[in-house]
Structure 1
Amino acid sequence: MARSGKLKGTLRRGLLLAMAAGTLGGCTAAGAAETSYITVAAAQPRQEGENAAVAAQLSGADTLPARFNPQSKWDWMDGSFELDITTEGAPREGVVFTADLLLRSDGKPQFQGRMNVETILLVGEGKRWAQCAMPAQLRASNFTEPVMRDGAAWYRARVAITFSGTVNTDVNGVWTNGVAFGQVVNQPVTGIKVFVAGTQCSYQGQVRLENASLGYTMGSGDGVSVSTTVPRHSQTALAAAGDVLTFESGARQALPQVKLADAKATAATVRTARYLAAMGSSDHVIFGHQDSVWSKAGTAASPLNGLSCSDIEDMTGSPAGVVGFDGLSLAGKEFSAALWNSSFAQQGLPSIDIAALGEPAANVKALAYLSNYCLSRGALVTLSCHMPNFSQAGVRAAYQAGKEPAYARYDFTTSTARDKGGNPMQGILPGGAYNAQFTAYLDMVADYASQVNGPILFRPFHEGTGSWFWWGTSTCDAATYQKVFRYTVEYLRDKRQVHNLLYVYSPDGNPGFFTEAQKRYPGDAYVDVIGYDNYQTDPSPDSSKWFADFSSGLSQLRKFAVQHGKVLAVTETGVNTSSPALGDVVTGLPRTGCADRQWFEKLLDAAASSGASYVLVWSNNSEMFHTPFVRAVNGDGSLYGHEMLDDFLRFYNDRRSVFALDQLDVVRGIQSGLK
């Protein structure tokens, strides 16, 4: 093995693009990262002699120094490990690179952050790069085995990376993500490069690579994933006939009458509100998940592994009962028309003519198509809006007046909801300096809603009782917040004549939130659903104190909702971590070492008895996730993946949890316009 030069620029560009895009799962598209976890399903050769023809055990070892910057999110180690190899023919999809990574240490390594091990296959005589889109990720806890090398003490971790689905590569001089494996790896592999990067990693010392191999045998696994022991049970569907909702037990719940903010709301919108109100009066709760059908943390789907484009569906066989999207996708910052065309449209769904529509309108259509896809599968849809600071909204140079809708004039990607300068809340009201930009954004929401074949739970200005968004307490008083919320409803409902929205007001659940939540409440004429956003940070093995506080806040909102005749929902929740040492990023579940392994079961206990109609946890992607995920399906049908899989399966198996397939007939009835 020889040390190579510092190939930082091109490689880093490809990695950052892959990570920013997230994982699209079975809907993997160009620009989307395809998770490179080990897949047990591909562990054995698929035909006699195949492994012998491709496998290569690489002798020797090499050592490089590492001096990672603990403040950096992505800091390359100087140099790379370069392995000489020539396979007999082109490897097939599912080929696995395994190696031992050793750290020089006289005691068990105690560094903070993580190391990312990136592997590139060099293909053919031209040594074209085929980069696995997500690196193997190692923490200090992975280096558990002490070994001696040349009289020195080292600690070893096993790395296993599967090349499956797509890779990143150079296409005509442009670094491109999401290219099909077989299009790139179509000649013998003539070398392998291994790079190591630190993410807020404090390790300083020697790194050694040895015992590398390429083949279809997994090796010892990643030391993190587990197999499930809880079988998945199917659930009986709910049914709604007339004014009665019938549960699987035979219990019946009346669909109460509701008074909505929109007196002209469509029959389907009214029916949805009544269904949610009935759920809130029962001991059942609908499970929701943000971005659930297109962004995932688990292994991307392929015809070989039996997985889907959804972590929830991988675990349960059903989509989430509520699927959340955000206005960021309307602007093309999360989902987009390009992703739709390269993923869902490849499965027989309509494609979008981006050139004819223009990119802004095409992105809006893509999210409408995705919402309709969810509704057709039994999921309700909710739209939050991390709106840009409209004082910083730019004008698109490519805008084509007369061809594109008026909202396409503005670039809504130039700022974020956390940019708080410029006094935007006053400025977006009628007569304000930014009213044109704001109403253009609302026109974009209206265009989206007009293309969705069902109701949308619309949740603008969420967590306004906190201080982190430009509509929060640090930049906006209660009276202004109320004015803006009311103006938003009036503009969509009265001026744009949008009648398939249910308006959701969702304060944050930080301590003492309720007083501010009451002050900022826009009024009964502008709200249909009272929401509750509350995350647990750094759970302990006993989360009883947090769940008691969670339930107390929810109880306050329940009384408020009942007094005002509104539906109640947990509109955001999940586990957060406060430092990279406790998880892979500063939000989401840790990849391993979760303190409370019954967290989802406890959430169900709290939510099902609270009067909440649904509970939604935040999104998953390759770098951050709020639910467990599946890496592979074992031969016996059990699942292999995140350590909290069993907890989530118990959550799913409980009769009180409701997923999309449980309510499929109800949602289809709503869409058909039943009154």
Structure 2
Amino acid sequence: MLEINSNANLHQNGSPFLSGLIILGLFTLTVGCSSDSTPTDPGEEPEPEEPITLQMVDDNATENTRALYSNLWAMQSEGVMFGHHDDLIYGRHWMAEQGRSDIKDITGDYPAVFSVDLAEIMNSKSAVDGYELNDDRRRTILEAYERGEVIIANAHLNNPLTGGDAWDNSSSEVVSELLTEGSETHQKFKKWLDNLAEFVNNLRGHNGELVPLIFRPFHEHNHSWSWWGSGTTTSQEYIDLWRFTINYLRDEKNVHNLIYAISPQLDGVGTKQEMLYAWPGDEYVDFIGMDSYHGTNTDALAHNVANLEELILEKKKPGGITETGIEGIRDYNGNPLNEYWTREIMTPLIGHEISMVIMWRNKYDPQNTGHHYFAPFEGHSSVPDFIEFYNSSIMLFSNDLPDMYEMAEGVSIQ
């Protein structure tokens, strides 16, 4: 996010508007079928999907990491898992309350995907909105895992050369220095990776098993605002940075509970080739993410999701929308978007098979001094629409998930 400084069980009966959306999705799927296909007897069971074998970046991934990966693929044909960044750590009007969630406050259910930032764990910058939250990161990750939810982690790392923040793009030498063996920047970055390895290698469930995370470092790299972005880093430097990071974690630090996700940002209508900018190689990517701050340009979102879906099938890697939303859930004139969830998020996803859509964070702001929030909370005008969104059979929340940490039927990992 650019900031400065599954077979779903229907929650309950949907509205006529939602029914229309679902019918539209079914119509879209129908017209996409071959006209000379043999009709199916209504009494017949649908044919099962063909088994598929996937390849992971880490051949030594733990058993439940492999299981999660298989389910990320399987869930794409079941619905879209809803996620929210930092949802369990703080909300619009509360901070670090165990069991709390802005989404749970209004639905009684948690998001299916919990997004969290690990930069503060990696480079010791531990204050968010003035609060020290690393203990709460560990706690909430474990709570989400024990409920069976999916955890995805980004990393807004400080600039290891200049000492600035993740948006300090003042030097074009940062990645080349970082990759120079023996340099101060290289040693600093390895220490940050050591911190990450220590953290994830000690994330264990109640049976002592390692907790799997989807890890998406160096996101939105096709734009210029971050020190690893296209404004200061060449395509080859980015590829080398990505590969070095994975090789070090996997091969040097014996980290085997990470699923590696890449996530360029496309806001307007884009191409598949744009999604593959600085692609580090199929053998170095597990999950194809896409950040999308498209506003209300739902045509652009639908177009880009269609391209993402094609890449998912071509490369046999699960994928989804790893960040999206409108700050304040309002239009350019400041008017609230009270039907945002069903019209601007769900409708463009109908008929497409992706695994997740994740909203950016709700900043802790109990006095309502600003509009830095991307998901609803108690009292927000879009809550009724979000309840319809929640009640649809398309969107999946925590209570809709199968066991994400047992191998999905028909999906094997090579």
Deviation digits for residues 463-507 of structure 1 (CA, Å, limit 9, x no counterpart): 001111111111111111111111111111111110110000101
CA distance in 2, matches of 1:322, 1:495: 29
> What SS class does the counterpart of residue 666 from structure 1 fall into?
coil
Cα offsets for 1:256-291 (capped at 9, x unmatched): 4311011111111111111010112x1511111100
Question: Equivalent residues in 2 for 1:253-332 (5 A)?
Answer: 256-280=52-76, 282-298=77-93, 309-330=100-121, 331-332=124-125
CA contact (8 A) 1:269 1:502 kept: yes
Distance 1:575 1:500 in 2: 32
**8 Å contact from structure 1 (residues 325, 384) kept in 2:** yes
Residue 55 of structure 2 aligns to a residue whose secondary structure is coil
Letter in 1 for 2:315: H
Task: Look up the equivalent residue of 2:400 and give its one-letter code.
Answer: D
Q: Give the direction of change, closer, same or farther, for the CA distance of 1:492–1:629 in structure 2 (3 Å limit).
A: same
The match for 2:382 is 644
- Any conservation in 1 of the 2:107–2:390 contact (CA below 8 Å)? yes
Q: State the TM-score, normalized to the length of structure 1.
A: 0.48
- One-letter amino acid of the counterpart of residue 667, structure 1: M
The change in CA–CA distance for 1:309 and 1:581 in structure 2 (over 3 A counts) is same
Give the 5 Å matches for 1:244-643: 256-280=52-76, 282-298=77-93, 309-330=100-121, 331-334=124-127, 363=134, 366-393=136-163, 415-422=164-171, 423-431=173-181, 432-453=183-204, 454-511=211-268, 512=270, 514-537=272-295, 539=296, 546-576=297-327, 582-583=333-334, 593-595=335-337, 597-621=339-363, 622=365, 623=370, 624-630=372-378, 641-643=379-381
**Partner of 2:294: helix, strand, or coil?**
strand
Is the 8 Å Cα contact of residues 120 and 127 (structure 2) preserved in structure 1? yes
Letter in 2 for 1:370: T
Q: 1:609 to 1:332 in 2, by over 3 A?
A: farther
Match of 1:399 in 2: none
Give the Cα–Cα distance (whole angstroms) in 2 for the partners of residues 434 and 277 of structure 1.
Answer: 37
2: CA distance, partners of 1:311 / 1:254: 39
Change (3 A) 1:288 1:577: closer
For residues 131-175 of structure 1, give each alpha carbon's deviation from its aligned partner in whole angstroms, at most 9, with x where no partner exists.
Answer: xxxxxxxxxxxxxxxxxxxxxxxxxxxxxxxxxxxxxxxxxxxxx
Letter in 2 for 1:606: P
Alignment coverage as a number of residue pairs: 352
Equivalent-residue separation in structure 1 for 2:162 and 2:148 (angstroms): 39
Q: Residues 388 and 514 (structure 1 numbering): CA distance in 2 closer, same or farther, change over 3 Å?
A: farther
Unpaired runs of 5+ in structure 2?
Answer: 1-10, 15-44, 205-210
Give the residue type in structure 2 aligned to 1:421: S
Give 2:8's aligned residue: none
Quick check: which has more Rg, 1 or 2?
A: 1
Q: Name which structure has the greater RCO, CA cutoff 8 Å, separation 6+.
A: 2
Quickly say closer, same or farther: Cα 1:420–1:371, change in 2 above 3 A. same
Deviation at 1:447, TM superposition (A): 1.3
Cα deviations across residues 434-482 of structure 1 (Å, max 9, x unaligned)? 1111111111111121122321000001000111111111111111111
Unaligned runs of 5+ residues in structure 1 are 1-231, 236-249, 341-362, 394-414, 540-545, 584-592, 631-640
User: For residue 424 of structure 1, what is the amino acid of its counterpart?
Assistant: V
Query: Residue 667 of structure 1 corresponds to which residue in structure 2?
Result: 404
What is the distance in 2 between the residues matched to 1:386 and 1:285? 26
2: CA distance, partners of 1:376 / 1:560: 32
- The root-mean-square deviation of aligned C-alpha atoms, in Å, is 3.2
Q: Structure 1 residues 375, 254: CA separation in 2 closer, same or farther (over 3 Å shift)?
A: farther
Percent of residue pairs identical: 27
CA distance in 2, matches of 1:446, 1:526: 18
SS of match in other structure, 2:403 = helix
- Contact (CA 8 Å) 2:126, 2:132: kept in 1 or not? no
- Answer 1 or 2: which has greater strand percent: 1
Give, in whole Å, the separation in 1 of the partners of 2:94 and 2:85.
18
2:404 is the counterpart of 1:653? no
How far apart are 1:253 and its partner, in Å? 6.3
The TM-score, its normalising length taken from structure 2, stands at 0.77
Q: Is the 2:82–2:395 contact (alpha carbons within 8 Å) kept by the matching residues of 1?
A: yes
The residue type paired with residue 285 of structure 1 is: V
